[in-house]
Amino acid sequence: MGYIAFSLLIPCYRHPLAIVISRVLKCTASSTILPMHPFRFGVQLKSSGSIEHILSVVSRVESLGYDVITVPDHIDQSMSPFVLLGYLASKTGLTLGTMVLSNDFRSPVIVAREAAALATISQGRFELGVGAGWQGADYLQMGLSMESPSVRVSRLEEALSIIKDAFSKEEVSFDGKFYQLDRFALHPRLSDEVVPKLVVGGGGKRVLSIAAKFGDVVSINPSLRHGEYAKETLQEMSEESYLRKCEWVQSKLGALGRSVELHCRSAFVYVGDDHYEVVSQMAGSFGLDPLEAYKMPPLLIGSVDDVVQQLLYRRQRFGFSYWSVHEGDVESFAPVVNALKGR
């Protein structure tokens, strides 16, 4: 059985198969583009099952050594994020997060109040992920008009400014295109020890510039401007596309004098020794060369050792230290977490 052994590719290329693959994998000591943070690993809950099922999953996630539990905000997939996370705050010691709230669904004042309450209840274990909103079905179900990406991103920028100021200032007045506030204040005020990290990301230059300005964690994603996963989404998962986005974020951070943690959410995970057969079938269904699939940053494919080496490489190459997998990948990915936790 032939397969790509990343442990042979990094840091040098000696295996015959590795000689071929070295043409497409550029592993160099000088490729680091951002300060490297220790690895963190999160799990995205489906959060649409029974509360008993959710508690069972959360307990298992914690026992396996993961760091973070996050929930989505899609109307047809999840419970109310703040209500669920408020309940979980008393049931687990994990960090809790939204991945991510759709900004158009709530006033930033409501988001700031709910986030502050959850940060206080959890004693600083809450991270607030907010995005511009992208899934067309959500807007249809809510009876909301889904405006152009540029409008949604502009509204997100104003909302993030309000939320960030609410966390740090005694009161916030704001006169923008989308929001106007007069002396809004959190009661009680947040202590510095529990202020939530802001998690902001996207796939386009403008939203990534906003993420670099406001985010404590910047999440690099494919662009979802079409309101659904499309053929172009797969093209945006290439190594070259992700590297361009990371370099863009780095340039903005440099100009702002800021440092952030970089996040990547997995799109496909397969950890096992028979991975080449699996990825060949998966890649074939999309008309994709299997070698290209192995290179895509959000695809984590290989044996345990292979995936460990992939993540070490991708932290060096792109700066990714915070990784999220989906609920269904918790068990198979756990040995990777165990190998890299704290490194």
Residue 339 has a CB neighbour count (10 Å cut-off) of 16
C-beta separation of 3 from 21 below 8 A: no
Of residues 307 and 3, more confidently modeled: 307
Query: What is the Cα 167 distance to its own chain's centre?
Result: 22
Residue 82 has a CB neighbour count (10 Å cut-off) of 21
* Mean pLDDT of all residues in 189-207: 96
| pLDDT-based confidence at residue 236 (cuts at 50, 70, 90) | confident
Say yes or no to pLDDT of 199 above 90. yes
For the chain, the 3-state helix, strand and coil shares in percent, each to the nearest 5, are 45, 15, 35
* Mean pLDDT of all residues in 24-52: 73
pLDDT of residue 65: 98
Residue ranges per structural domain of the chain: 34-299+319-340
Quick one: which of 195, 207, 99, 98 has its CA closest to 155?
A: 207
pTM reported for the whole predicted model: 0.89
pLDDT of residue 229: 52
- Mean pLDDT, the chain, whole residue set: 89
pLDDT of residue 33: 52
Of residues 49 and 148, more confidently modeled: 148
Tens-place pLDDT, residues 100-151: 999 999 999 999 999 999 999 999 999 999 999 989 999 999 999 999 999 9
Tens-place pLDDT, residues 271-322: 999 999 998 988 888 888 888 899 999 999 999 999 999 999 999 999 999 9
pLDDT of residue 175: 99
How far is it, in rounded angstroms, from Cα 290 to Cα 306?
15
pLDDT of residue 233: 72
Residue 14 structure tokens: 């000696």
In the Cβ-directed half-sphere of 198, how many Cα atoms lie within 13 Å?
25
Quick one: which of 69, 82, 6 has its CA closest to 40?
A: 69
Residue 337 structure tokens: 């977490």
211: three-class secondary structure by DSSP: helix
Query: What is the Cα 49 distance to its own chain's centre?
Result: 22
pLDDT of residue 230: 53
Say yes or no to pLDDT of 29 above 90. no
* Mean pLDDT of all residues in 34-42: 89
pLDDT of residue 46: 85
Residue 274 has a CB neighbour count (10 Å cut-off) of 11
Of residues 245 and 34, more confidently modeled: 245
pLDDT of residue 48: 72
pLDDT of residue 207: 97
Quick one: which of 198, 181, 8, 174 has its CA closest to 101?
A: 198
Say yes or no to pLDDT of 16 above 80. no
| pLDDT-based confidence at residue 13 (cuts at 50, 70, 90) | very low
How far is it, in rounded angstroms, from Cα 168 to Cα 192?
8
Query: What is the Cα 83 distance to its own chain's centre?
Result: 21
Strand partners, 101: 130
Residue 42 structure tokens: 């999160």
* Eight-state DSSP code of residue 258: -
**CATH of region 34-299+319-340, choose from 3.30.365.10, 2.60.40.10, 3.20.20.10, 3.20.20.30:** 3.20.20.30
- Return the beta strands (E) in the chain as ranges: 40-44, 68-71, 95-98, 101-102, 126-131, 172-175, 180-184, 197-202, 217-220, 261-265, 268-271, 299-302, 320-326
Tens-place pLDDT, residues 154-191: 999 999 999 999 999 999 999 999 999 999 999 999 99
Residue 181 structure tokens: 């506030």
Of residues 59 and 76, more confidently modeled: 59
